[in-house]
Structure 1
């Protein structure tokens, strides 16, 4: 029989962290899941690190060819999923023990739900918590109409739902929309959630159930500027596809908030970078 949940991990050059990521899935309080890990032709020892888990019947290990960026690996590992529900976890992030249990329960309690998300901590390379309980906001706790939830996130100028390890979706929905949408690469997560949110409701679980790892590569002004540029492209795309959901005023507000978010991100990266250097 197929499991209830497929947890899929698209690993790439994650040798220092991938064991912790895998263990965080295997130690879940919810037991009816499979774990699929795909190494995207890493240049480090990611594949060797994964061999620790070859004898666990819950784990399937794959190798995917180089090229194609995040979408190729995210699609490849997701297409193998056999569970009714799916959660993608990048190869350096961690799930807290009750993550699957809480989110599966949310789907059971809300039959119309297409996307379920929870809060996350921001952690450093050593797993120390830098910022606690990020995500969702007051407007996205409990069950919310999917289009209203998407509009709230766009008007905020960012991704209120969180990175993929924060989110669980229905596998069939992800399959039916063509898997992960990377037309704006920085929005491959929210760009994909958007398709699902137009098909049903959103449920926000008001708990911190994961850790999102930040690294030195993220302390980049160039990346924050590119993020806000792609945000504007994403907003325009949603407006074109769903003019009944997103107004011109929503787009203008979202574009402005994305610029503000980029400025805040620069300050946050500077503060977090200093904190990581001191802690290290």
Structure 2
């Protein structure tokens, strides 16, 4: 029989953290899951670290040829999944022990729900929590998917969080064509929007995952590109779904996306100084 949940990990150059990620998944209190890991031609020893877990019958290990960006590896692990529900976990993030138990119960409470998300903690390279219970922008319980999509646009940032915070019906994800990378920095948020426009959203207020920040998130270039792609994402939603996103929503969301990109940069710079101070 197929497992209820497929936890899929698209790994790339995660040698420093992938073991912690795998251990957090294997430690779930919900046991009916498979774990599929694909290494995307890493240039460090990620593949060797993953191989340490080859004897666990819950784990399937795959290789993804180089090229194709995140989309190729995210779709690689997702296409291999057999579970009713999908949880994608990046190779440096963490699940808390009751993540699957809580989110499976939530999504199975209502057949109209296509996506469940929780708040998450943001941690530094050492795993220290630097921001707690981040996400959801005040949403609680079940809301229409279109309402949740409008909310993420108006707020100007991804209110659902990184994939580790999210559980998706695999049938709906397949229906919308799997992961959507037309806006590469928003591959998760764009896909969530597609999934949510097919059903309802359920928000779980407790933190069930941890997202690890990295040096790559401190660059000025990245901040500019993320802001530009957020605006493009909003315009695309407005053009495709004018009944969901109004012209005013678009203006407000774009202004807030620009502001949030700069807030994130200042926050990351502060965190870098904080970690450098601790190292000294």
Q: TM-score range by the shorter chain?
A: over 0.9
Which stretches of structure 1, 4 residues or more, deviate above 3 A after TM superposition?
none
TM-score normalised to the size of structure 2? Answer: 0.98
What does 1:8-157 correspond to in 2, within 5 Å?
8-138=8-138, 140-157=139-156
Deviations 1:81-118 (A, max 9, x none): 00000000000000000000000010111221011000
128-137 or 178-187, larger mean C-alpha shift? 128-137
Distance 1:216 1:266 in 2: 11
Question: How large is the Cα RMSD of the aligned pairs?
Answer: 0.8
Aligned residues: 279
- Alpha-carbon contact 2:95-2:164 (below 8 Å) kept: yes
Equivalent position SS for 1:53: coil
Unaligned runs of 5+ in 2: none
Distance 1:64 1:277 in 2: 35
Distance 1:176 1:36 in 2: 21
Deviation at 1:279, TM superposition (A): 2.7
TM-score normalised to the size of structure 1? Answer: 0.98
Equivalent in the alignment of 1:228:
227
Equivalent in the alignment of 1:4:
4
1:245 aligns with 2:249: no
Unaligned runs of 5+ in 1: none
Equivalent position SS for 2:52: helix
- Alpha-carbon contact 2:217-2:265 (below 8 Å) kept: no
Distance 2:40 2:17 in 1: 15
Deviations 1:119-175 (A, max 9, x none): 11111111111111111121x111011000010110000100001111110111111
- Alpha-carbon contact 2:137-2:155 (below 8 Å) kept: no
Equivalent in the alignment of 1:196:
195
Distance 2:167 2:77 in 1: 15
